[in-house]
């Protein structure tokens, strides 16, 4: 893990790769290419081996195109210990190929338990950044912030998530604001804390804001200067490049947009399936990543 500030590393990687694209690694065994599935058993060990083979091939294809990948640990945990090992190997493989890794773990616990999660996913797995839940408050984030300050790690706190149910709690009204806006105000204070802000004014502590809520994302961008956004919900969940523009500042900086299924499994139907099909699925993954990068580039202000 570099000791350089995470936000600096993120900006640099986005510039180097020519676009703020994150590829979500949400493996589904049923959706893998048949050739890969047939090469391993159908038990947990075999499925985990298939996941790893698939991810390594995906990483080879996307490493020259995108700066960041985001494995969601839930799909790995579902395969038990073999899946957890596959998660660790996937993170290691991505880092070897020069990619930044956001571990999508959405953890949130207190005291020594939060410390154990930080050990597991920063120190152990080697993730550059993690997604975290805000429900338990600032003291639950401290072990993660310690690594942001001392080891160049990053964290993205859930603020406004992309699912419809996000309204249940996040949209409750607290005076003139909603709960997610109150979380944003707390986050603004935490993100400005000592040792977190990089040379270009961005914090290592960011926010997760869903592309499916462009109005809310625009308001949050105004409220949270210097707080980088991780924006899920692009593609399969319905968010477009235009929806995502509001997550960036006027220079086209400050956000990273994630697509998972649209890039990993776009070859299973529609135009990409017609052009490439399963036989050339790697080319379809490449084309989907390139298309997303170009769509974001075309929508963002120049200079990005």
User: Of 6, 117, 248, 281, which lies in the binding site for a second copy, with binding defined by CB under 8 A?
Assistant: 117
The distance of closest approach from Cβ of residue 1 to a second copy in the complex, given in angstroms and rounded to an integer, is: 16
Residue window 26-65: x/- pattern of binding to a second copy, with contact defined by CB under 8 A? x-x-------------------------------------
Under the binding rule (CB under 8 A), the answer on residue 114 touching a second copy is yes
DSSP sequence for 238-263: SB-HHHHHTTS-TTS-SEEEEESHHH
Under the binding rule (CB under 8 A), the answer on residue 7 touching a second copy is no
Tell me the three state secondary structure of residue 229. strand
The distance of closest approach from Cβ of residue 74 to a second copy in the complex, given in angstroms and rounded to an integer, is: 4
Q: How many other CB atoms sit within 10 Å of the CB of residue 3? A: 9
Helix (H) or strand (E) holding 136: none
User: Of 58, 88, 205, 288, which lies in the binding site for a second copy, with binding defined by CB under 8 A?
Assistant: 88
> Residue 212's closest CA among 144, 165, 282, 274?
165
Under the binding rule (CB under 8 A), the answer on residue 222 touching a second copy is no
106 is catalytic: yes
**Cβ proximity to a second copy, 179 vs 218, nearer residue:** 179
Helix intervals (H) in the chain: 6-17, 34-38, 44-62, 73-77, 80-96, 111-118, 138-151, 166-170, 179-191, 214-223, 241-245, 261-264, 270-275, 281-299
The distance of closest approach from Cβ of residue 200 to a second copy in the complex, given in angstroms and rounded to an integer, is: 28
| Binding segment (CB under 8 A) for a second copy, from list 6-14, 121-129, 219-227, 267-275 | 121-129
Under the binding rule (CB under 8 A), the answer on residue 134 touching a second copy is yes
Residue window 139-158: x/- pattern of binding to a second copy, with contact defined by CB under 8 A? xx-----------------x
The distance of closest approach from Cβ of residue 56 to a second copy in the complex, given in angstroms and rounded to an integer, is: 18
Tokens of 49: 């081996």
| Active-site entry in 17, 106, 215, 302 | 106
Strands 173-174 and 177-178: antiparallel
Residue window 229-268: x/- pattern of binding to a second copy, with contact defined by CB under 8 A? ----------------------------------------
Residue with tokens 């993660």: 144
Where residue 6 falls (left for φ over 0; alpha for ψ -120 to 50; beta otherwise) is alpha
**Cβ proximity to a second copy, 98 vs 137, nearer residue:** 137
DSSP state of 215: H
**Cβ proximity to a second copy, 111 vs 195, nearer residue:** 111
CB 155 within 8 A of CB 132: yes
In b/e form, how buried is each residue of 24-38, taking b as 16+ CB within 10 angstroms?
bbbbebeebbeebbe
Under the binding rule (CB under 8 A), the answer on residue 91 touching a second copy is no
The distance of closest approach from Cβ of residue 6 to a second copy in the complex, given in angstroms and rounded to an integer, is: 21
The distance of closest approach from Cβ of residue 17 to a second copy in the complex, given in angstroms and rounded to an integer, is: 26
- Phi/psi of residue 42, each to 5°? -100, -5
Task: Return the active site residues.
Answer: 106
Binding interface with a second copy (CB under 8 A): 26, 28, 72, 74-75, 77-85, 88, 106-114, 116-117, 119-121, 124-125, 133-140, 158, 161-170, 172-175, 179, 182-183, 186
């Amino acid at each position: 893990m570099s000791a350089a500030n995470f936000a600096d590393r993120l900006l640099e990687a986005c510039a180097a790769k020519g676009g703020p694209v994150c590829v979500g690694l949400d493996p589904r065994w049923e959706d893998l290419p048949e050739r890969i599935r047939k090469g391993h058993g159908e038990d947990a060990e075999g499925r985990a081996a298939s996941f790893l083979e698939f991810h390594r091939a995906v990483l080879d294809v996307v490493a020259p195109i995108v700066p960041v990948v985001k494995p969601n640990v839930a799909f790995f945990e579902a395969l038990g210990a073999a899946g957890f090992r596959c998660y660790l190997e996937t993170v290691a493989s991505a880092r070897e190929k020069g990619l930044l890794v956001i571990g999508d773990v959405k953890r949130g616990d207190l005291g020594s338990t939060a410390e154990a999660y930080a050990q597991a996913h920063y120190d152990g797995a080697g993730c550059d950044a993690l997604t975290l839940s805000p429900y338990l408050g600032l003291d639950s984030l401290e072990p993660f912030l310690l690594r942001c300050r001392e080891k160049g790690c990053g964290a993205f706190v859930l603020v406004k998530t992309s699912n419809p149910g996000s309204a249940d709690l996040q949209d409750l009204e607290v005076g003139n604001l909603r709960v997610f806006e109150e979380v944003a105000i707390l986050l603004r204070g935490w993100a400005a804390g000592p040792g977190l802000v990089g040379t270009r004014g961005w914090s290592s502590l960011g926010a997760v804001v869903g592309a499916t809520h462009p109005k809310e994302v625009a308001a949050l961008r105004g409220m949270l200067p210097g707080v980088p956004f991780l924006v899920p919900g692009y593609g399969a969940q319905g968010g477009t490049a235009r929806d995502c523009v509001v997550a960036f500042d006027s220079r086209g900086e400050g956000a990273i947009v994630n697509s998972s299924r649209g890039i990993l499994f776009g070859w299973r139907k529609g135009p990409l399936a017609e052009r490439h099909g399963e036989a050339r699925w790697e080319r379809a993954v490449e084309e989907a990543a390139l298309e997303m990068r170009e769509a974001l580039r075309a929508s963002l202000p120049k200079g990005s």
